[in-house]
Amino acid sequence: MKNNNTLKPQDILILLKICTLGEQDWFQHDLSEALGISQSEISECLSRSKYSGLIDANRKKVNVLSLLEFIQYGIKYVFPQQPGAIVRGVATAHSAPPLDQEILSDQNYVWPYARGTMRGQAIQPLYRTIPKAVLNDKKLHEVLALVDAIRVGKVREQHLAISLLKERLQYAE
């Protein structure tokens, strides 16, 4: 029997997008348009997230503390990633703001994307539409890059990313 309540990578994307909206009202079609995900998948995500305790019973307010706990302790195990081949793409992890100002590295990490402006080692995004979705959404880009730093970074990068992610998401509580 298939378990329809198991989190999927796009659930994290959708929850983080909701967090970046702060107190702004949103509708499923807004998320669908902004993220390039169908409305039915948004609805399924919200149901899975409700079941797992990451969003409230009304499916409108993210449980930020639980989401941060999952990202800090579980994301690198549930959605692991290893840097791949050198490709053109959109900066992520320590190669993107805000970590690019804190961590100096001669190796860039990117989400593969033909219209990207940076070359670096490929990091597969949590969901295929992320590179396009973040091009016009600085807040979302930053939080997803921080999540990738937790997924692929060394201990120092992970700790710094967690600290910065907590700062960015605390206002949404």
DSSP label of 55: B
Render each residue's pLDDT in the chain as its tens digit; 173 residues. Answer: 456 789 999 999 999 999 999 989 999 999 999 999 999 999 999 999 999 999 999 899 999 999 999 999 999 999 999 999 999 999 999 999 999 999 988 899 999 999 999 999 999 999 999 999 999 999 999 999 999 999 999 999 999 999 999 999 974 44
In Å, what is the CA distance from 47 to each residue of 8, 54, 58, 125? Answer: 12, 10, 10, 22
Residue with tokens 């967090």: 19
| SS3 label, residue 119 | strand
Length of the chain: 173
pTM for the whole thing? 0.94
Q: Which residues of 130-151 are buried (b: 16+ CB within 10 A; e: fewer)?
A: bbebbeeeeebbbbbbbbbbbb
Cα–Cα distance measured from residue 49 to residue 56, given in angstroms and rounded to the nearest whole number:
9
Name 134's Cβ contacts closer than 8 Å, sequence gap at least 6: 90, 140, 141, 144
Residue 135: predicted pLDDT: 94
Residue 2: predicted pLDDT: 57
